[in-house]
Structure 1
């Protein structure tokens, strides 16, 4: 187990403990604000610390718990994935992308600092994520290389960055459901999938069929997260979300709510949750945290 006591905790306590552990690990892995260049490192810490749901670290820890990974190994993986996620948010908020001024209830990085600093923050967080993975003393070189490969694929042109490119090219256009699903499987789902698989690769190797089922869960969970995000964008307030509500509709971007309507989008979320849980059948109590996270992703309010 990642922790001898973690498996006994109620889900809200486990989640809070894992979020706090991730926050502390990020604080250790990020360069100190006093390190030259101070301005860049201060902006990196501003962007990465003190906010966020930490869904990707939570998924990494949950998958690691299923596979008996150590907490120390999962700290490394969780922080690497979260740094990639934060870099994507910093860049996504830039005027040349989605042009937003609020993130996690605070001014976005380019508003708090400036646009060149925000660009460099994203670059530096991406580099630091891979540096963390490369520096960890993994039991075998092959394990370390697989973790690097999973993160690179999940964040690259065939993953998150590719999904962002499709998203930007789709403004003002109508996408059908398969096209929308492909876009979000890359933009949002690929990094969530990487988090789950990387967490699993920190522990005892799974049989091929088990890894396939875990991957199926991760794919559905990634799409589920985005469908719920689209629902919240048009139903929750800016204060609740910590970012500008209604931004996608105002920007004329394709969303599940726009394509399907609110009630059908909610039904789709429930269907995705059911499919994700179905993929975990056979794992038994080992999958407890992944099951709880699927419910959390479905019912979250921000």
Structure 2
């Protein structure tokens, strides 16, 4: 930002000014946030403590849960504070930091979902070589790659965005610092940044989606060759949770980037963003646990251990 003395604070409009609706929104967001944190923390704790969950799949799931916690924490608590206190202001530095972390965690999730798809491909299509291909060093390298790739994707547009001027308005039509509404109120020429954001988003979306699609094409083709219906059912069950999460993530994000310009109306995107930051992180732990026998068994074993310790 070239003229930081002219503007050091933004105003986040939020979603509504209706008091009863704000109360319902606060309750909904608070409950979904607490469920998201507790659910994802449970998955992280189980994958750390249970010896049966020390496979690459659960290492990736552990990191995915960490990303979900980080993603929703970067946005929801600040919005809850705004609803509760009525304070809609946010400093320029806090706004840029929020935008950076939200984008970083979101893009890293996309790359991690692609890596998790590849893990399922190796597990089903090359089971005899799974332990060799997906060894500890490779898994850690994949996780580091996801973070580095996300940084490479988001840093160019964010770096350009730091030079924007906001001389006409400081009111952001959103509940968090999002790129589109911020570009909408800038008095600088935003065409280059808009095109860069679209290019980075589309590139990330297409590359990761192609990896996911190719992995599942080979997976489905391999599963259909299994002679036993029981084998096919078991193989599909190992992928079903990941397929549901992928569908929710990619499906919701399609609506965010269907409009090419930041000057368009962002009301629809606000609602979808709310679902992405609250509902998805809350549902994902339940999707992975309710459809996964090993995680459910690990959870039951942990409950038994806690019960025995409490008796002692």
Q: Which TM-score applies when normalising by structure 2?
A: 0.29
State the TM-score, normalized to the length of structure 1: 0.30
Select the structure with the greater relative contact order (CA < 8 A; seq sep ≥ 6).
Answer: 2
